[in-house]
Structure 1
Amino acid sequence: MARESFDKEIRFLRMLALAGGAYSRQQFADRLGISVHTYDKTLRYLKEMLSTLQQGGPQEHGNELSEGLRYNYYESADPLLLFLFRAKSLKETETIRLTLLLTALQSQERTARDLQDICSEQMPVDLPLPDEKTVRGDLKYLEEVGVIVRLSGGRPYRYIAANDLIDRLSDDELLDLFDYVDVIANTQVPSVQGYLLRSTLKKALIKRGYHPDTMETHRYKYHYHSRILDEAHLYTIFRAIRHCRRLHFLYLSPKKGKNYASQNTNPLFERETEGVAQSTLPLRVVYDHQYGRWYLIGHSPRLGLMKFRMEGLTQIEEGEPVSEEEFARRLAAAQAQLQHSWVTDTLRPVQVVARFFNPDRSGANFVRERVEAQGQWGTITEESDSTFLYEITVNGIYEIKPWLRSFGSSCEVLEPAWLRREFIAEWKEIRNYYESVREDF
């Protein structure tokens, strides 16, 4: 899939997940910045891709793309957005060819010549037939990623699918592994690899005769659909960080409300781009649990430390390398600036002091447990049997403020005084919303 096309599909699926059926075709296209014709073509392409990747699966997976996103709200264990990862980096011929190879190697060992014959017999007539060099290249790739194994012995080499782990597990062991992967994939970041493993295990259980409903022992409400879409950029960014290379991309700031910018490849339809061309040395990736957002932290020779919301990155390309000494110097400077950042803020450090109230009822102290788990480097001091103090120095209060507010009446901000006054004004405003309700309403 072309890079521009993948950018468009990411933004298309994000809006579809967030808006559901709230927009008409014209409104959806206008919001995305494309024509209605392009909207129809993209939706048709995604549906075709989804049906291709789910061939042979359970009948219920044949739902329409938009219907699945709208009505399967709690079915986050099989997020429809995930299917894009299975096809984003493969051409159509590669997708069909690799599928044929893996299917043939599931049941018995075969040589490259055997697999070439199978591809020649089963490839669609409108697609070119692979030669032996192409098949050997595919086998080398599949062996490198651990999908197949080459058996011991001389030439010609024989290959078989790497199903030893699954095949050696009993039914109970396979169910336990599925449940474990199910929980981890829904609670950890990054999660895409976990979802792909979960999908593989689910197919193995279905192959053993288990009904899909038997495996759904956990239900999740997946809040951040766009999170797994943004993970598509992680591996490109991590590779650039590992090799000390700059990144060049077109950045669409979420604040401007622009969701997509096409590449101006046709001079007849050339128009001014909505994004800003950026070049940065990637240093770190930060994840915000509060809002489910990924951030890229980089360095610009002209502007210094730069912070980008990952959902705004498009048309990413690796650039020129820098020396390891320069990279280490830039990284150390960034870490010093972000030392007291709740997420990515680099404003003036502020000391925040808050009083937390323990629950009145006996049992688990969920307030204390949450502060200990999420409070980062803040310190906790016992004040009384019913309260404790929490102190932390952070770069600005804009990122920690929603976290403090989320505790409701269980949190009282003490310092700084101006932040306390802001909270008082906000809670008074909320109280006023309820005073106007008539008693006989």
Structure 2
Amino acid sequence: MAKESFDKEIQFLRMLVLTSGAYSRQQFAERLGISVHTYDKTIRRLKDILQAVYQQLPQEQGKEFAETLRFNYYESADPMLLFLYRAKSLKDSETYRLTLLLAAMQEARTAMELLDACCGQMPADLPLPDEKTIRSDLKYLEEVGVIRREPGGRPYRYRIHNDLTNELTYEELVDLYDFVDVMSNTQVPSVQGYLLRDTIKKAVKQAENETAFVEPFLYKYHYHSRILDEAHLNTLLHAIRQRRLVRFLYFSPKSRKSYGSQNTNPLFERETEGKQELVLPIKVVYDHQYGRWYLLGTNARHGVKKYRMEGLTQIEEGEAVSEDLFDAKRQQLEDQIRHSWLIDTGRSVTVRARFYNPEGVQPNFVRERVLSQGQWGRIAVEEEDSFVYEITVNGTTEIKPWLRSFGSSCEVLEPAALRRELMEEWKEIQDYYESVREDF
């Protein structure tokens, strides 16, 4: 799958889930910045991937991809959008070839034996591999730890590296699955964890004894963008480690479009609402409250810049910068976000809020939550029925949802502007719950 295609399909899936099929084909294409023909082509491509990965789906669920996402995504505990990662960077011929190789290496095989096995089973409409291709595949699979080379001289023999699952008992496999399941659903990044979980699940079902396997935890993850945006994570972290600039086409959350195709035909060129950016990436931040990834970096023209990762497309690494320059830019960023609740670089302000202790409840869960989530803030005053929490932050936009989440247990004292904002919001909420009829 080409890099541009993967970017397009990420944005395609995000919008498909967010709109729940409410857009027409024309509206969907316009919002993405693609043609209706490309829309239809992308639907067919994703449908093929879906049917290949989720072969256990009933036939009627595989007929319409949009319908499947619309009606089944939120009914499943599994992050269904994860299927896109299984198809990333793989052509059809590679998919078949690697599948045949892995199936053949259940027993130790030489490269020539694997070549014969592939040539004998490849579909007629796909090109046959040569020895160089097979050896390249073996080198790749060995590097990522999927297979191992058996001891001995030439010709080398290769076998599936599945000792971990083969040597564990059924009970140990179930315990391992439960652990990976918990971690992949509660930690970030999680895509690799989900893939590992699925692999262990297959091993559990193969080793299943008389007791049927029952999943003890069922997670309902609603932040689909988090999973989709992890596609950019390794690229950006690699650029940060190598101190390299990155170029990308950025679509802000306020933009009417979320994708722009790379037009090679001048007859079909169109203006895109995206903005070409050249940035030195310094830090990646994850917002647990909203399930969003952010890229923080510096730009030669604007200094410190912040980007929602969901708006990044067509990412490419550029030239490297000196270590001294990178350290100076990183220090500049750290200075600006030192008092950020998350990534805000606005003017610093001191927030004071009174939290009320729950009556007759021990332990004091309000105090415990403030201490665990309150970052560098401190309890300035402690009384019998309440305590005053104080913190200096860059702006109040990011801390406001956290304060509001305490409901009547929190009263903002300062600054006065934030207090007035919250009062207006609570009045608005109260109006929503007014009785429609006076005698109701």
Aligned 8 A contact 2:73 2:80 in 1: no
Aligned 8 A contact 1:175 1:215 in 2: no
Q: In structure 2, what is the equivalent of residue 63 of structure 1?
A: 61
Q: In structure 2, what is the equivalent of residue 316 of structure 1?
A: 315
1:201 paired with 2:205, answer no
Aligned 8 A contact 2:295 2:309 in 1: yes
**Distance in 2 of aligned mates of 1:439 and 1:210:** 64
Aligned 8 A contact 1:76 1:222 in 2: no
Residue 84 of structure 1 aligns with an amino acid whose one-letter code is L
> Number of matched residues?
438
Q: In structure 2, what is the equivalent of residue 150 of structure 1?
A: 149
- 1:52–1:434 distance in 2 versus 1, CA, 3 Å: closer
- 1:2–1:219 distance in 2 versus 1, CA, 3 Å: same
Q: In structure 2, what is the equivalent of residue 185 of structure 1?
A: 184
Deviation at 1:74, TM superposition (A): 4.9
Q: Which moved more, 1:76-85 or 1:294-303?
A: 76-85
Q: 1:140 aligns to what SS in structure 2? A: helix
Aligned 8 A contact 2:77 2:220 in 1: no
Residue 314 of structure 2 aligns with an amino acid whose one-letter code is Q
Residue 290 of structure 1 aligns with an amino acid whose one-letter code is Q
**Distance in 2 of aligned mates of 1:211 and 1:179:** 19
- 1:15–1:210 distance in 2 versus 1, CA, 3 Å: farther
Aligned 8 A contact 2:250 2:274 in 1: yes
- 1:365–1:435 distance in 2 versus 1, CA, 3 Å: same
Q: 1:237 aligns to what SS in structure 2? A: helix
Aligned 8 A contact 1:76 1:220 in 2: no
Deviation at 1:381, TM superposition (A): 4.7
Unaligned runs of 5+ in 1: none
Q: In structure 2, what is the equivalent of residue 433 of structure 1?
A: 432
**Distance in 1 of aligned mates of 2:154 and 2:381:** 72
Q: 1:232 aligns to what SS in structure 2? A: coil
**Distance in 2 of aligned mates of 1:73 and 1:281:** 37
Q: Share of identical aligned residues, percent? A: 66
Aligned 8 A contact 2:248 2:277 in 1: yes
**Distance in 2 of aligned mates of 1:126 and 1:113:** 22
Q: 1:284 aligns to what SS in structure 2? A: strand
Residue 323 of structure 1 aligns with an amino acid whose one-letter code is S
Q: 2:345 aligns to what SS in structure 1? A: coil
- 1:90–1:127 distance in 2 versus 1, CA, 3 Å: same
Deviation at 1:264, TM superposition (A): 1.5
**Distance in 2 of aligned mates of 1:240 and 1:211:** 50
**Distance in 2 of aligned mates of 1:211 and 1:296:** 49
**Distance in 1 of aligned mates of 2:217 and 2:59:** 19
1:47 paired with 2:83, answer no
Alignment deviations for residues 258-313 of structure 1 (CA, whole Å, 9 cap, x no partner): 11111121111011122111001110001111111111111111111111110110
Residue 414 of structure 2 aligns with an amino acid whose one-letter code is E
Q: In structure 1, what is the equivalent of residue 242 of structure 2?
A: 243
**Distance in 2 of aligned mates of 1:372 and 1:68:** 43
Alignment of 1:25-174 (within 5 A): 25-55=25-55, 58-59=56-57, 63-64=61-62, 65-74=65-74, 77-105=77-105, 107-174=106-173
Q: CA RMSD in A?
A: 2.1
Alignment deviations for residues 108-150 of structure 1 (CA, whole Å, 9 cap, x no partner): 1111111111110111112211111111111111111111111
- 1:28–1:381 distance in 2 versus 1, CA, 3 Å: same
Alignment of 1:405-424 (within 5 A): 405-424=404-423
**Distance in 2 of aligned mates of 1:143 and 1:250:** 35
Aligned 8 A contact 2:255 2:273 in 1: no
Aligned 8 A contact 1:73 1:221 in 2: no
Deviation at 1:247, TM superposition (A): 0.2
Deviation at 1:420, TM superposition (A): 1.2
**Distance in 2 of aligned mates of 1:337 and 1:203:** 48
Deviation at 1:60, TM superposition (A): 5.4
Q: In structure 2, what is the equivalent of residue 287 of structure 1?
A: 286
Q: In structure 2, what is the equivalent of residue 375 of structure 1?
A: 374
Deviation at 1:210, TM superposition (A): 7.1
Alignment deviations for residues 155-195 of structure 1 (CA, whole Å, 9 cap, x no partner): 11111111111111111111111111111111111111111
Residue 151 of structure 2 aligns with an amino acid whose one-letter code is S
Q: In structure 2, what is the equivalent of residue 267 of structure 1?
A: 266
Q: In structure 2, what is the equivalent of residue 399 of structure 1?
A: 398
**Distance in 2 of aligned mates of 1:254 and 1:213:** 46
**Distance in 2 of aligned mates of 1:326 and 1:249:** 21
Aligned 8 A contact 1:254 1:312 in 2: yes
Aligned 8 A contact 2:30 2:257 in 1: no
